[in-house]
Amino acid sequence: MEKPILVFQTDFTYAEGAVAAMYGVVKSVDRSLEIIDATHQLPQYDTYSASYRLFQYMNYWPKGTVFVSVCDPGVGTKRRASVARTANGYYVVSPDNGSLTHVAKFFGIEEIREIDETINRLRNGNNEEVSIFHGRDLFGYCAARLASGIISFEEVGPKYDVSEVVTHDLKEPTFTDNEIHGIIEINDPNFGNLWTNITKKSFEEFGFKHGDKIKTVIKHNGTEVFNDELFYYQSFGMAADHTVMIYNNEVNKIAMAQVIDNFAKNYNLGFGPEYEVTFKRG
Amino acid sequence: MEKPILVFQTDFTYAEGAVAAMYGVVKSVDRSLEIIDATHQLPQYDTYSASYRLFQYMNYWPKGTVFVSVCDPGVGTKRRASVARTANGYYVVSPDNGSLTHVAKFFGIEEIREIDETINRLRNGNNEEVSIFHGRDLFGYCAARLASGIISFEEVGPKYDVSEVVTHDLKEPTFTDNEIHGIIEINDPNFGNLWTNITKKSFEEFGFKHGDKIKTVIKHNGTEVFNDELFYYQSFGMAADHTVMIYNNEVNKIAMAQVIDNFAKNYNLGFGPEYEVTFKRG
Amino acid sequence: MEKPILVFQTDFTYAEGAVAAMYGVVKSVDRSLEIIDATHQLPQYDTYSASYRLFQYMNYWPKGTVFVSVCDPGVGTKRRASVARTANGYYVVSPDNGSLTHVAKFFGIEEIREIDETINRLRNGNNEEVSIFHGRDLFGYCAARLASGIISFEEVGPKYDVSEVVTHDLKEPTFTDNEIHGIIEINDPNFGNLWTNITKKSFEEFGFKHGDKIKTVIKHNGTEVFNDELFYYQSFGMAADHTVMIYNNEVNKIAMAQVIDNFAKNYNLGFGPEYEVTFKRG
């Protein structure tokens, strides 16, 4: 049977040698394993973004793919180091620190096991004394052993109850007769687009359609920081450059962009439950 | 027959999950395809840079390589999504929006086809409703099918006339008895070097040789922004640190650099037809 | 016999097409070679960092791996272009310009050869005239030929004496009855941690142990720039957020971090022999 691909996301960047050390460990476990970068530019220590990105791209990969997510502010403390088997057919190797939130909620975790460090931790000279690099010594090493078939999922370590998985609170949008209330649930840090938690389906069932001009208010911790009427378009090229507009994003949720420009930066907007958005009927 | 490599360039960066979703699609089409990053740091929306970079590195790859270029400010509008077969033996999968300029001019396009979305667009749950991520849903998917041999080049979609390919205007240098006039046609955004459109061959046939001190003037929209006498050297190490000098760049065109420093940044210089450069005889 | 992996580190970044051209050359030499990025974000022209990063990750790779390091401020000058065979079982292809310092000192170089440009330099159209891109034309090309088995190590070019390898001075820490004196030998540019040249072993043999509060002074060119009492902890999660603390880093040397924050940036600290650090008994 073909060995699964290892897909990595971390907040390490490529600014120093950490990724190279981690990948060397994988290749030393099994030279034939295929490694692909999802990203090494997760926002530092941001387990919510780690969780969201897994949700964003996981389903596009072949079943059986092993995702390794290392955003690990609590490295060396009691947070569990785990491997989850998801209901949609993948494995996720990650600290159980919130990084599994979206996977647990939207795809489902069938079974989760805590990595047994006595078996699945790298022992290479004196690196047993190192407590701060589990990406290399624990997650990367254990993931490589699993993908290679050296250990089975059961041999990762002891199972624990899926209900114990650490999760962030996720907000659901609410609907009144005249308004949809949601939050900006994540950003696109490259193009400066902001993605809400409102699905395209519910937005259109509410009655909004392409070409509508929609009153849009964004509040940050209760204070209004944006208020304008925005068109809802199918894609960016349909509005004039620099126009702020509403569109359906790549995960079929409602988002806002400034055409050929950067909405988040120009309006100094971020994401999270403190950024509430309201779309109002005309 | 061995499957061609897929080489990707985009303006997505690795800041979020877009590249990972796109690569997952490729691997789901055919697990055995090899993916290599050319870059995901094209300047945003800059189809001219996209075009130049393909020109810069294409010829170094094995014949048959499939290049996927996604710099796509007009995603979701009427610009064509295309696959070009080049005269030098490659395929380029790209929006036909100027990104094919240098390939068309310097290497030649033998045949170009518009991607038939009814056949070569990803259908994965409800992502048919997504109009803003052709890198994942159209270019990456179609390129993977082509590289895998699932479709032939003819099955990409209908052929159209090569003369219809959208191109940027490219300026040629001019020569008088005492001067060469050109433009800064591209930058090296890392080291801050600036590359002109003047070939080494024409520069040396004009009479300049290593060791010459050459009067150099740069104008931005007609206003002089740099004026100095620069030495023409074979390589950087031959001048003192921080010296601005002239050299032959990696595509055999005349360029300027500040040794162990950043010419473009320190002198606030960019590239494009609005940056004219003149080299004058002694 | 399986072909070795090629692991690349450069200061090219992915901002333009240089990496893509270099990797195309490798794949044109031998389509089956596996290429992995160590990093393309070495600090520009910083051969000391190049040297340190090789030291940081090399030993985690399978024996026989070919490392290609291109941080080459003297490209096109008389510095040697070399391939080293290391005592720990690897090859390093690099300019001999200080980039081999740590490998030579800590792992040992068994034999070093200067690349013979008449045999192991790319000839592709008119790129013989290019003097400024040895990553593509010399290091990448030669490394691919070596990894592919087209040339043996002996066929790289003439051997020279290992004692001639160019190295940076490396400082050793000193110990008095009450103090350890060292330097900040490198940074973690991502998380802002600072790594000293003092081993965990010597630090603990001196008498420091987890939980100790240690008087810590940092001087920059003799001027005190940091002075505080810091706890020595096993890992970051054991101190409150934003606390500056001492820990054992991933190469088993003593380091300092600001928890969930950036020590180097917040205190404006760098690395090198001009940054001296003293840890004093309580």
- Residue A272: beta bridge partners? A184
Instruction: Report the relative pairing of strands C179-188 and C174-175 from DSSP bridges.
Output: antiparallel
Nearby residues of C266 by Cβ (< 8 Å), 6 or more positions away: C192, C258
- Shortest Cα–Cα distance, B101 to chain A (Å): 21
CA angle A33, A94, A91 (to 5 degrees): 55
Distance of CA A96 to the CA centre of its chain: 14
Contact B144, B114 (CB under 8 A): no
Distance of CA B276 to the CA centre of its chain: 20
Q: What is the pLDDT of residues C224-233, one digit of tens each?
A: 999 999 999 9
Q: Tell me the average pLDDT across B184-208.
A: 97
pLDDT recorded at residue A129 = 87
Round to whole Å and give the CA distance between B95 and B81: 4
CB contact under 8 A, B15 and A238: no
pLDDT in tens, A132-176: 999 999 999 999 999 999 999 999 999 999 999 999 999 999 999
Rounded Cα gap, residues B22 and B27, in angstroms = 9
Whole-angstrom Cα distance, residue B200 to residue B211? 14
B124 in contact with A at a CB cutoff of 8 Å?
yes
Among all residues of chain B, which has the CA nearest to that of C13?
B190
Q: Alpha-carbon torsion B77, B78, B83, B86, what sign? A: negative
pLDDT at C203 over 80: yes
| Assigned token pair, C210 | 């987890």
DSSP string, C149-209: TSS-SGGG--EE-GGG------PPPEE-SSEEEEEEEEEETTTTEEEEEEEHHHHHHHT--
Rounded to whole angstroms, the Cα distance separating C197 from C182 reads 6
**Would strands A193-199 and A253-258 be described as parallel, antiparallel, or unpaired?**
antiparallel
If residue A273 lies in a helix (H) or strand (E), which one and from where to where? strand A272-280
Contact criterion met (CB < 8 Å) for B15 and A39: yes
Instruction: Say which residues have a Cβ less than 8 Å from residue C147's Cβ, sequence separation at least 6.
Output: C3, C4, C5, C6, C30, C33, C66
Q: What is the ipTM of this complex?
A: 0.97
Which residue of chain C is at minimal alpha-carbon distance from A141? C60
pLDDT tens track for B6-31: 999 999 999 999 999 999 999 999 99
Rounded to whole angstroms, the Cα distance separating A178 from A215 reads 11
Q: Other CB atoms closer than 10 Å to residue C213's CB: what's the count?
A: 12
Q: Residue B128 to residues A11, A251, B122, C172: CA-CA distances in angstroms? A: 32, 11, 8, 62
Yes or no: say if C168 and C51 are a contact pair by the CB < 8 Å rule. yes
SS3 content of chain B, % helix, strand, coil (to 5): 25, 30, 40
Question: Where does the pLDDT of residue A1 fall: very low under 50, low under 70, confident under 90, or very high at 90 and above?
Answer: low
Residues in chain C within 8 Å Cβ distance of A10: none
What local confidence, expressed as pLDDT, does residue C77 receive? 80
The residue type found at C71 is C
- For residue A127, what pLDDT band results from cuts at 50, 70 and 90? confident
**In contact, A50 and A41? CB cutoff 8 Å:** no
- The CA distance from C185 to C172, in Å, is 10
Question: Tokens in use for A54?
Answer: 């897994």
Classified as helix, coil or strand, A19 is helix
Q: Closest chain B residue to C125 measured between Cα atoms?
A: B59
Disruptive mutation site among B13, B16, B72, B148 for chain A (greatest number of A CBs within 10 Å): B16
What is d(CA B232, CA C223) in angstroms, rounded to the nearest whole number? 43
Q: State both tokens at B34.
A: 């090899």
Report the amino acid identity of residue C8: F
Give A21-74 pLDDT, tens digit per residue: 999 999 999 999 999 999 999 999 999 999 999 999 999 999 999 999 999 998
pLDDT over threshold 80, residue C76: no
Specify the length of chain C in residues: 282
How near does any CA of chain C get to the CA of A99, in Å?
17
Predicted confidence (pLDDT) per residue in B84-139, tens digit: 999 999 999 999 999 999 999 999 999 999 999 999 999 876 778 899 899 999 99
Residue C53: its chain A contacts at CB < 8 A? Answer: 16-17, 20
Residues 6+ apart with CB under 8 A from A58: A65, A67, A86, A88, A90, A103, A107, B24
How far is it, in rounded angstroms, from Cα A151 to Cα A173? 42
For the full predicted model, state whether its pTM sits above 0.80: yes
pLDDT in tens, C123-179: 876 778 899 899 999 999 999 999 999 999 999 999 999 999 999 999 999 999 999
Amino acid at site A183: I
User: Considering only residues 135 to 174 of chain B, which have any Cβ-Cβ distance to chain A shorter than 8 Å?
Assistant: 136
Nearest in space to B19 (alpha carbons), one of B28, B10, B6, B27: B10
Dihedral of alpha carbons C124, C130, C135, C138, sign:
positive
